[in-house]
């Protein structure tokens, strides 16, 4: 039995990735998705978070909530990240008038290659559907990978790509010249502000320990020690939970929301740590990560909020001064509603615009052609 398992494992590694994708598609259970009427108006949310990144879970939650509000008569169908290659059932009931949305976030690029591969696959598989890529940050490290995405994206006649900050917007406009490119906030900022009247106490540290962290280990340890010398109630949280079951994602997100709501100040170098503070009106000191997405999002949408301070400072004593300032601030700033609703108008317009397809793209969705298979 062990020998058989070992042989199976070795054989699996030898199978080309493209062949695995094709096999998954054709062998996927026809009942994998529930029966959905073909005549229903549908909107799909593709590459939805089913893993332990609470930022991506928040994006999924906010994106679904946003679509439900905008399209109350439509059925919202979720396609989770681990189910992207099991879409044979969906091909049987999707219509050209249905809309596909791709999850927003910071995974457009080769830093998270698995998710970029999934995005390319979705774009190839549904050439006759309007596709809206919700607000993203872009970060390609290699020209080869960027060119591959450009090639795939440019062939889709009705692909709308949203950037969530100006640096990504300029890069996307330059790269994806055959597609529609827009600027809008991270979709989590569309969530309604939470009540800030809870009794607040203590400090929450929400700091990265992965490839996107910018603080060195020594800087991080020095900062934590300095804060603990001043404040007794210091707790560490992260927006990533390893091996989190899909069913518990929203529950853990709400726990984190509740913790942020009750704390005096959050110190974070996570984008959604900052965004959670914005929608919950929690004072926050924000440190940069290894790329442009935090600084870009802050400068584009949140710089006017006095209760959020972004700093490139690494001196722990200076950071502590910012914490003290926010912790003892008794102004009415936290009672001001954070309202970016008008900034989402380009997204509203793209979702509701007429769907026009060039004749050169008049393939039927029922035919998974050899050309499409070959290009996967």
Q: How many Cα atoms sit within 13 Å of 270 on the Cβ side?
A: 21
- At the top level of CATH, the class of 203-338 is alpha beta
373: confidence class by pLDDT, cuts 50, 70, 90: very low
The mean per-residue pLDDT over the stretch 346-361 comes to 71
User: Under a CB-based contact definition with an 8 Å cutoff, are residues 119 and 90 in contact?
Assistant: no
The mean per-residue pLDDT over the stretch 27-51 comes to 79
Of these ranges, 41-55, 84-98, 181-195, the one predicted with the greatest mean pLDDT is 41-55
Geometric angle at alpha carbon 107, from 102 and 108, rounded to 5°:
75
Fold of 23-190+343-375: Rossmann fold (3.40.50)
Which has the closest alpha carbon to 163: 301, 53, 57, 352?
301
pLDDT tens profile 3-35: 455 544 544 444 555 555 555 555 555 555 566
* Residue 196 scores a pLDDT above 90: no
Global confidence as pTM: 0.87
Which has the closest alpha carbon to 85: 140, 34, 124?
124
pLDDT tens profile 227-242: 999 999 999 998 999 9
CA distance 81 to 84: 6
337: confidence class by pLDDT, cuts 50, 70, 90: confident
The neighbour count for residue 135, using CB atoms within 10 Å, is 29
Token pair listed for 271: 């984008």
> Same CATH topology for 23-190+343-375 and 203-338?
yes
The mean per-residue pLDDT over the stretch 114-123 comes to 96
Geometric angle at alpha carbon 69, from 68 and 71, rounded to 5°:
65
Residues 6+ apart with CB under 8 A from 213: 207, 220, 269, 289, 290
CA distance 233 to 204: 9
State the Cα torsion 71-78-117-371 to the nearest 10°.
-80
If you search the block for the tokens 């997204």, which residue do you land on? 347
User: Under a CB-based contact definition with an 8 Å cutoff, are residues 121 and 153 in contact?
Assistant: no
The residue ranges of every structural domain in the chain are 23-190+343-375, 203-338
Q: Which pLDDT does position 24 carry in this prediction?
A: 56
User: Under a CB-based contact definition with an 8 Å cutoff, are residues 77 and 98 in contact?
Assistant: no
Phi, psi at 203, each rounded to 5°: -125, 140
> What is the full DSSP assignment across 232-245?
S-EEE--SB-TT--
Residues 6+ apart with CB under 8 A from 33: 77, 89, 90
């Amino acid at each position: 039995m062990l020998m058989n398992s070992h042989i199976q494992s070795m054989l699996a590694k030898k199978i080309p990735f493209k062949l695995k994708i094709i096999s998954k598609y054709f062998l996927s259970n026809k009942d994998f998705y529930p029966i959905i009427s073909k005549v229903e108006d549908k909107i799909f949310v593709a590459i939805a978070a089913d893993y332990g990144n609470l930022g991506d879970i928040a994006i999924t939650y906010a994106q679904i909530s946003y679509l439900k509000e905008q399209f109350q008569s439509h059925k919202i169908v979720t396609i989770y990240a681990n189910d992207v290659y099991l879409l044979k059932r969906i091909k049987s009931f999707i219509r050209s008038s249905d809309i596909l949305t791709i999850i927003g976030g910071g995974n457009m690029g080769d830093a998270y290659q698995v998710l970029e591969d999934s995005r390319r696959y979705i774009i190839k598989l549904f050439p006759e559907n309007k596709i809206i890529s919700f607000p993203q940050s872009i970060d390609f490290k290699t020209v080869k990978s960027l060119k591959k995405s450009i090639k795939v994206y440019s062939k889709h006649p009705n692909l709308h790509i949203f950037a969530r900050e100006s640096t990504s917007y300029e890069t996307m406009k330059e790269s994806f010249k055959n597609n529609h490119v827009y600027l809008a906030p991270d979709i989590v900022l569309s969530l309604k502000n939470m009540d800030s009247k809870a009794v607040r106490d203590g400090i929450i540290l929400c700091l990265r320990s992965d490839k996107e962290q910018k603080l060195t280990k020594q800087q991080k340890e020095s900062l934590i020690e300095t804060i603990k010398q001043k404040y007794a109630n210091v707790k560490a949280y992260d927006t990533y939970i390893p091996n989190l079951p899909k069913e518990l994602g929203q529950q853990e997100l709400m726990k984190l929301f509740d913790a942020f709501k009750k704390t005096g100040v959050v110190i974070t170098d996570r984008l959604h740590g900052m965004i959670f503070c914005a929608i919950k009106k929690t004072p926050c000191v924000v440190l940069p990560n290894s790329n442009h997405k935090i600084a870009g999002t802050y400068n584009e949408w949140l710089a006017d909020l006095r209760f959020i301070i972004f700093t490139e400072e690494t001196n722990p004593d200076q950071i502590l001064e910012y914490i003290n300032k926010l912790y003892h601030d008794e102004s009415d700033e936290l009672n001001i509603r954070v309202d970016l609703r008008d900034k989402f108008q380009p997204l509203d317009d793209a979702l509701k615009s007429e769907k026009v397809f060039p004749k050169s793209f008049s393939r039927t969705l029922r035919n998974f052609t050899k050309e499409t298979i070959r290009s996967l």
